[in-house]
């Protein structure tokens, strides 16, 4: 492996960190419980330690980027989690800045459902289409839209997100 990226899926119940090659194959994956009850510092520590573990292991290869998908409403410009129902205590938390400071490198932060939709467009059932919608079901419910081959964030980064409280 000459080039790789680190992909992180931060969920309400599990944290998955993977080294991924240029073809999109997970070379190695670390899975941990998301210990939200111990606070966001613990979750960020677990995430950063896992990322560092993989970057040390693959130090002979070129790291080309780190991408993190997190639940909730994400301000794409600032990297701030505005609200995340399944991550209590994370409202208005500057996740991207905190991680970048700890790792001393740039990271890309996005909504987990949007990131999953991009993955499906790149390697999955959406490869052959320019427009697609995806519904994600996990600890929470989310969604993503790809229009003209690009993720659609919407006006406030909430495109395709569902507020189930309003449906009840």
9/67 same-domain check: yes
105/62 same-domain check: yes
108/118 same-domain check: no
37/120 same-domain check: no
Question: How many Cβ atoms are within 10 Å of 145's Cβ, its own excluded?
Answer: 18
Q: Where are the beta strands (DSSP E) in the chain?
A: 3-10, 14-21, 26-33, 62-70, 73-75, 80-83, 108-111, 132-137, 141-147, 150-151
Indicate the pTM of the whole model: 0.86
118/108 same-domain check: no
Structural domain boundaries, residue 36:
3-112
What is d(CA 55, CA 51) in angstroms, rounded to the nearest whole number? 6
Per residue in 72-129, pLDDT tens?
Answer: 889 988 999 998 888 999 999 999 999 999 999 999 999 999 999 999 999 899 999 9
Cα-to-chain-centroid distance, residue 121: 15
49/74 same-domain check: yes
Per residue in 128-154, pLDDT tens?
Answer: 999 999 888 877 788 888 999 988 887
8/69 same-domain check: yes
Domain at 94, CATH number: 3.30.420.40
DSSP, res 137:
E
């Amino acid at each position: 492996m000459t080039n790789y990226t680190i992909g992180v899926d931060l969920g309400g119940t599990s944290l998955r960190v993977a080294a991924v090659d240029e073809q999109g194959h997970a070379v190695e994956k670390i899975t941990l419980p998301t210990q939200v009850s111990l606070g966001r510092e613990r979750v960020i520590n677990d995430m950063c330690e896992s990322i560092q573990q993989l970057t040390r292991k693959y130090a002979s290869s070129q790291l080309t980027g780190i991408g993190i998908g997190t639940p909730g409403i994400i301000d794409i410009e600032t990297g701030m989690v505005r609200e995340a129902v399944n991550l209590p205590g994370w409202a208005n938390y500057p996740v991207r800045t905190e991680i970048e400071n700890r790792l001393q490198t740039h990271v890309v932060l996005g909504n987990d459902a949007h990131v999953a939709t991009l993955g499906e467009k790149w390697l999955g059932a959406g490869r052959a289409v320019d427009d697609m919608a995806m519904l994600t079901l996990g600890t929470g419910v989310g969604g993503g839209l790809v229009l003209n081959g690009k993720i659609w964030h919407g006006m406030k980064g909430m495109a395709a997100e569902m507020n189930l409280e309003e449906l009840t």
